[in-house]
Amino acid sequence: MDCDENVGNESLVLIKQGAEARVFESTFAGRRSIVKERFSKKYRHPVLDAKLTLKRLNAEARCMTKARKLGVSTPVLYAVDTLLHSLTLEYIEGVSVKDIFLDFGANGIVEVRFDDVATQIGAAIAKLHDGGLVHGDLTTSNMLVRSGTNQLVLIDFGLSVTSTLPEDKAVDLYVLERALLSMHSSCGNVVRIIIPLLLMVLLLFVSSYSVCCCQM
């Protein structure tokens, strides 16, 4: 249920709460925005909690910035508040890839758009992994397609890490595979098509995978 708050004279409307953070809709310099606030964990010592929360906040900001430098579309980072442990981000007008796939499952696959979304997902993951960045939570809910341009945007870098280890990249792909398989009952043959298509795109785009394959 939505909840209204006011911080710094800006109205915040709660739109989502997870295990690590709350996500609000707000405005920033007159623009529609998202505020992601990491909250404290009461079971941790206050000093340790503050250090860990700040560390994760800064890591998320750095990883999202690095992703953009690698050519992956992410929300623009407007501000980092180290006192409130929050990030202020661009609000993305669009729909989640999860909703797109569910729509395909209910109404039939629109082949051109399906191929475009799959290719963009593969290309985005390739850029991350080749650049030594692991997203950490590659689910279709964390992928948005921007209205008007149909550009794929990756969100929520809260679990992201820098790594060149093949095992870490494999875990990233495993999380995505499980997310897709969990949609099977709703999406039907969409999932059966998307997984091999994504694999093909990844093998075409990701140069670092070829090294791993040669070592197998």
pTM: 0.86
Q: How confident is the model at residue 83 (pLDDT cuts 50, 70, 90)?
A: very high
Q: How confident is the model at residue 207 (pLDDT cuts 50, 70, 90)?
A: low
Q: How confident is the model at residue 114 (pLDDT cuts 50, 70, 90)?
A: confident
Is it the case that residue 213 has pLDDT exceeding 50?
Answer: no
Domain boundary among 90, 120, 144: 90
Distance in angstroms (rounded) separating the CA atoms of residues 98 and 103: 9
- Determine contact, residues 81/88, Cβ cutoff 8 Å: yes
Report the CATH number that the domain containing residue 34 is assigned in CATH.
3.30.200.20
Domain boundary among 43, 75, 90: 90
Is it the case that residue 104 has pLDDT exceeding 80?
Answer: no
What is the average per-residue pLDDT within 186-203?
72
Question: In the annotation, is 137 catalytic?
Answer: yes
Residue located via tokens 């997902």: 121
Domain boundary among 36, 55, 90: 90
* Backbone torsion region of residue 163, taken as left when φ is above 0, otherwise alpha when ψ lies between -120 and 50, otherwise beta: beta
- In this prediction, residue 77 carries a pLDDT of 98
Report the CATH number that the domain containing residue 173 is assigned in CATH.
1.10.510.10
**In Å, what is the CA distance from 188 to each residue of 102, 106, 108, 148, 194?**
9, 9, 10, 27, 11
Is it the case that residue 112 has pLDDT exceeding 60?
Answer: yes
107 and 151 in one domain?
yes
Is it the case that residue 80 has pLDDT exceeding 80?
Answer: yes
- In this prediction, residue 163 carries a pLDDT of 96
Distance in angstroms (rounded) separating the CA atoms of residues 151 and 141: 15
49 and 148 in one domain?
no
- Which of the following is catalytic: 4, 137, 156, 172? 137
What is the number of domains present in the chain? Answer: 2
105 and 53 in one domain?
no
User: Between the ranges 32-46, 111-125, 199-213, where is the mean pLDDT highest?
Assistant: 32-46
pLDDT in tens, 143-191: 999 999 999 999 999 999 999 999 999 999 999 988 888 876 666 667 7
Is it the case that residue 215 has pLDDT exceeding 60?
Answer: no
Distance in angstroms (rounded) separating the CA atoms of residues 153 and 76: 10
78 and 122 in one domain?
no
- What share of the chain in percent tops pLDDT 90? 59
* Residue numbers of the domain that contains 86: 4-90
pLDDT in tens, 40-59: 888 888 899 899 999 999 99
- In this prediction, residue 206 carries a pLDDT of 66
131 and 79 in one domain?
no
Residue type, 128: L
210 and 108 in one domain?
yes
209 and 133 in one domain?
yes
What is the average per-residue pLDDT within 187-207?
71
99 and 12 in one domain?
no
140 and 69 in one domain?
no
203 and 117 in one domain?
yes
108 and 201 in one domain?
yes
63 and 43 in one domain?
yes
